[in-house]
Structure 1
Amino acid sequence: MQKFITAVGAILFVIFGSLPGFSQGAPSSEAERKAELAAAWQAASNAGTAGPADVALIDQATLKLPAGDFFVPKAEGIRVMRALGNTIHDASFVGLVLGTRQNDRWLVVITYIKEGYIKDDAAKDWNADDLLKNLKEGVEESNKDRAARGFPEMEVIGWIEPPNYDATSHRLVWSVLGKDKGTPDDARKDVNYNTYALGRDGYFSLNLLSDSTKVATDKSAAHELLANLTYQSGKRYEDFSASTDRIAEYGLLALVGGVAAKKLGLLALLLAFVLKFAKAIFVAAAVFGTGVLKFFRRKPRDDSAGGPA
């Protein structure tokens, strides 16, 4: 374990040496933040699960974690996210999945929204152009709040993948390309690749964080995780009972257009979360594959059992 602490400390020095506000002459509060992030990664490594393994997702589903992936549970995942400076909605957060292969630079944030049964009948009639327009308008509206809170304004450029809903498996996938206003069009852009699995009481969101240069290959990880999520008997979409179950106040269309998030007062917070998280992760991407993530390539062990450190 001491090797883990030493190596993570060295990696964080590289990361924060390249980020504003984390210079070598940083005040003690900044040093404390670095120490907390190192401790958060250590706790994640100790508590997490390396694939292949079956991971229980609260009381709703099981995720078959592939070899090469690492699952960080709720408490430790929240600690990592907060150490990176993010505001987390504790009630919906389930965990994180990291890719730990040599060239992996992605992370999936898993949340569960228990808002009731999502009607999917609108999927057969939706229009990708109309949905994109809705998204652009939603982001423009959220920019008022972003500007008031000191975040850069954002804009949506276009689809990376237009919405695709599988009515048999009740899975939804979509992604848009966006950027900070005023940044060059050819600059590398952080990407959210959004996947959803609908159930009887709500839905899981598996949000892949990648960038525009790697999402074409990274999205296969999101598709694999989505396919590997299985609802428990009684929690499946087809287990819905119209006589007893709650129906969500919004339908499937809202999961693409942002109406649901806006209705719940989450849209502006979500966009801020994505920006802040992505910046912290991807500025450090060059050292992730050979540094922090290598400690997630094996299952945590008990140091008291002996063996090489």
Structure 2
Amino acid sequence: MFLSSRRQLARCVLACAMVLSASAHGQSAPAAADSEFEQARDAALAHQQAGPRDISLGDQARIALPAGYAFIPKAEASRLMQAMGNRVGDGFYGLIIGDRLDGFVSVRFDSAGYIKDDDARDWDADALLKNLKEGTEEANKDRHARGMPEFVVEGWVEKPAYDAATHRLVWSASTHDKDAASGRAQGVNYNTYLLGRDGYLSLNLVTELATVEKEKPAARELLAAASFIDGKRYADFNASTDKVAEYGLAALVGGIAAKKLGLLAMAGVFLAKAWKLIAVAVIALGAGAKKIFGDRDKA
């Protein structure tokens, strides 16, 4: 009974994702892409690690994953992202899904070096937004050359806020595909960062503008659950030996961010919708699993 229900749900998720993806791009997805998506999704679900548990993030950090969430490891998460048209890049650790998320959270570490946070004291939100828009337009040239969607930054979903005591940065901007049909839901990257000695950890929520407000507490909960291990914390920085980043904190909101802004948004709104079905129905957290899949013992 459990397997039958899961297969039915898998077909529904696949159909939903492919129909919405084809609608967004104005063409049908190849059968081979359908098959790869289905296999990648099943592998991701088979290897998900449900909280509460400690998740090791390489030799840099860890996350005390709370109950109600599940972590999909790097190999399976990378395959799934690639099947949906996304490049994950270096430093990618995996994905987090959960029953409080309509979208998903991408977890990665960037070994940029120690990022000085002095400029956070003099931030001008309007200037940062202007830089983000200009940087996005510049990055669009590369996307256009690669045949990727180009993006427009609309405005702040949440203005940049940095906590100097915890070294956490949070910000979000609304974006849309330049070629998106009128009335199509807007995607959002809700960006959360934790600074460390050798770089920064990012836990970025990919979701929709319509749902991001109710998902913000979950994204912040996951950020608070992340920490660098001893020797890798921001306070462990050694000016005599350690690498210092070539840019300051504002670059994570401006030029550097602009280059990466479209990376996860390429998945489109269909990706967030597909993940909602997975997170609610397949993650099998608590009593919800029995309601959907039935009692495994009886099966």
Q: Structure 2 length as normaliser, TM-score?
A: 0.86
Q: 1:160 to 1:174 in 2, by over 3 A?
A: same
What amino acid is aligned across from residue 53 of structure 2 in structure 1?
A
Match of 1:246 among 235, 243, 248: 243
Comparing 65-74 with 1-10, greater Cα deviation is found at 1-10
CA contact (8 A) 1:116 1:200 kept: yes
Q: Which of residues 128, 131, 143 in structure 1 aligns to 2:128? A: 131
Instruction: Name the SS for the 2:96 alignment partner.
Output: strand
Residue 108 of structure 2 is aligned to residue 99 of structure 1: no
The 1:180/1:10 distance shift into structure 2, 3 A limit, reads closer
The offset of 1:125, in angstroms, is 1.2
Candidates 216, 219, 224, aligned match of 1:222: 219
Q: Which moved more, 1:36-45 or 1:163-172?
A: 36-45
User: Structure 1 stretches of 5 or more lacking a match?
Assistant: 300-305
2:199 — aligned with what? Answer: 202
SS of 2:282's partner is helix
- Which whole-Å CA distance do the structure 1 matches of 2:120 and 2:275 have between them? 38
Query: In the alignment, what sits opposite 2:73?
Result: 73
Q: Does 1:212 align with 2:202?
A: no
Q: Which letter does structure 2 place at the counterpart of 1:100? A: D
What residue is the counterpart of 2:284 in the other structure?
A: 297
C-alpha deviation, 1:133, in angstroms: 0.8
CA apart distance, 1:307: 4.7
Q: Does 1:181 align with 2:178?
A: yes
Give the match for residue 113 of structure 2: 116
Question: What is the distance in 1 between the residues matched to 2:185 and 2:16?
Answer: 21
Distance apart, 1:291 and its partner CA: 5.3
- Contact kept, 8 Å, 2:17 with 2:271, in 1: the verdict is no
Instruction: Work out whether residues 99 and 279 of structure 2, in 8 Å CA contact, stay in contact via their aligned partners in 1.
Output: no
Q: Aligned AA for 2:282? A: F
Shifted more, 142-151 versus 244-253: the winner is 142-151
| Matched AA of 2:95 | L
Task: Give the distance between the partners of 2:168 and 2:98, measured in 1 at CA.
Answer: 22
Alignment correspondent of 2:166:
169
Question: What's the CA shift string for 1:275-308, capped at 9, x where partnerless?
Answer: 32133414xx1x6544564221249xxxxxx956
The structural deviation recorded for 1:138 is 0.6
Q: Which residue of 2 aligns with 1:16?
A: 18
Aligned match for 1:159, one of 156, 159, 163: 156
Aligned positions of 1:42-61 closer than 5 A: 42-61=42-61
| Compared CA separation, residues 289 and 195, structure 1 to 2 (3 A) | closer
- The 2-side partners of 1:132 and 1:275 are apart by 18
Paired residues of 1:119 and 1:252 also in contact (CA < 8 A): yes
- SS in structure 2 of the partner of residue 296 of structure 1: coil
Distance 1:82 1:290, change over 3 A: closer
Q: What does the per-residue CA deviation read over 1:160-188, in whole Å, with 9 as the maximum and x for residues that have no partner?
A: 11110000000001111122337688753
Sort the Cα spacing of 1:244 and 1:296 in 2 relative to 1 into closer, same or farther, 3 A.
same
Q: Does the Cα contact within 8 Å between 1:179 and 1:190 map onto a contact in 2?
A: yes
Q: Is the 8 A contact 2:111 2:198 kept in 1?
A: yes
Is the deviation greater in 139-148 or in 75-84? 139-148
Is the Cα contact below 8 Å between 1:196 and 1:204 reproduced in 2? Answer: yes
* Equivalent residues in 2 for 1:256-267, closer than 5 Å: 256-258=253-255, 260=256, 267=259
Q: 1:9 to 1:181 in 2, by over 3 A?
A: closer
Deviates more, 1:13-22 or 1:236-245: 13-22
**CA–CA distance in structure 2, aligned partners of residues 35 and 186 of structure 1:** 30
Kept after mapping to 2: 8 A contact 1:70/1:297: no
C-alpha separation between the residues in 2 aligned to 1:241 and 1:75? Answer: 33
**Aligned position for 2:36:** 36
For the Cα contact (< 8 Å) 1:151–1:272, is it kept in 2?
A: no
Residue of structure 1 in register with 2:292 after alignment:
none
The amino acid that maps onto 2:91 is S
Q: Secondary structure at the match of 2:108?
A: strand
SS of residue paired to 1:133: helix
The size of the alignment, in residue pairs, is 287
Task: Give 1:12 deviation, angstroms.
Answer: 1.1
Percent of residue pairs bearing the same amino acid type: 44
Listed as ranges, the gaps of 5+ residues in structure 2 are 287-295
